[in-house]
Amino acid sequence: MAVPATGARVVAAAAASNDSARTPPLTTILDLFDRHRSFLLTGHENPDGDCLGAETALFHLLKALGKQAHIVNPDPIGRSFDFLQRHTPFASARAETPLPEFDCAILLDCCQLSRVGHLGQRLQQSGVPIGVIDHHVGSENGDGSVCYVDATAAATGALVRRLFRQLDVPLTPPAAEGVFLSLIADTGWFRYSNADAEVFAMASELVAAGVDVSLIYDSLFRRRHPQSTALLCEALATHRLLLGGRLALAVLDRSLMDRASHIDFDPDEILEPLRSTEGVEVVALCKERFDGTVKVSLRARRDVDVQAIAGVWGGGGHKKAAGATMKMSLAAAAAAVEAEVQRALEAAGG
């Protein structure tokens, strides 16, 4: 099979077309599946539930189509997600790890090779076509030569579910479990405003297909490390209410982040309780990284578009959930976030 020529043609077609033509119909990603034999599925660093769930579902879809598929992530999967490995193999690649053979790579829940760690560079060097399946705004303008992007979808896993339907492939229990994990990860167990009719309809059919909901809940939320409750308190205690109580800002320094990494504590856990404080419209969590940069995670309650705020530092995401990497000190990042949120609140009318 003339794989390099096929890949080159797909890339050329995308490069030559204008923006609207870079959002091809659903059939295009299906064509990509059709043309290739062996797929490497991957996603962003520190893969979350949507990323891992979508990878799981797509893995089983490709297998059902008679293809070879390998899930290789830049980081190992977190302990709370290890139930997925009952039915689905996950690998993580360090710089020297040999990769399985593949003639096509698919990025899930992200669109840029720069977000895939060092694995991203290796994918670029491999020269294979890159497909993107994602629900983030603007992802059709990322590194995918073929994209299936729908920013109205609640989760990337929902997009993979649609592909099953399009191809008339029945959902197996492991695939259903993957889609379910995606949905609950990105809707906060159906609490956020992105939990739309498609999400609830899918949830119903996924449970009917055999998803063990309580097993997933227990795996994700009832295996807390004994020290993590103390760390949760410490992380929450860093928060301050600013801008008249409309911004909740928490700042986690390197020492706290270091201890969090040792006990598999996810600092983003504090975002939701902070968002529940009456009067808070934006939550910002600044995390100091070991390379000296600061990762800011932003959540909005109503009218403020936090994706636009994240864009100030080259980040992105969704209107109500976004993030960015800031190349500055923790104190400078906190001050910059406060200034941008103030600007956004004023622009939103008050």
Taking CB under 5 A as the criterion, the residue among 29, 33, 50, 149 binding Mn ion is 50
Within 124-183, the residues that bind Mn ion by CB under 5 A are: 156
Please tell me whether residue 236 adopts helix, strand or coil conformation: helix
Query: CB-wise, 50 or 140, nearer to Mn ion?
Result: 50
Contact between residue 9 and residue 127 where contact means Cβ atoms under 8 Å apart: no
Query: CB-wise, 35 or 162, nearer to Mn ion?
Result: 162
Terminal CA-to-CA distance of the chain, rounded, Å? 61
Distances (CA, A) of 66 to 35, 37, 100, 169: 12, 8, 17, 12
b/e per residue 127-149 (b: at least 16 CB within 10 A): ebbbbbbbbbbebbebbbbbbbb
Residue 135 CB, nearest approach to Mn ion (Å): 6
Residue 109 CB, nearest approach to Mn ion (Å): 4
Site pattern 76..105 for Mn ion (x: CB under 5 A): ------------------------------
Residue 256 CB, nearest approach to Mn ion (Å): 26
Query: CB-wise, 73 or 156, nearer to Mn ion?
Result: 156
Rounded distance between C-alpha atoms, residue 279 and residue 281, angstroms: 6
Taking CB under 5 A as the criterion, the residue among 103, 109, 305, 340 binding Mn ion is 109
Query: CB-wise, 163 or 333, nearer to Mn ion?
Result: 163
Q: Does 186 bind Mn ion (CB under 5 A)?
A: yes
Residue with smallest beta-carbon separation from Mn ion:
50
Q: Return residues touching Mn ion (CB under 5 A).
A: 50, 109, 156, 186
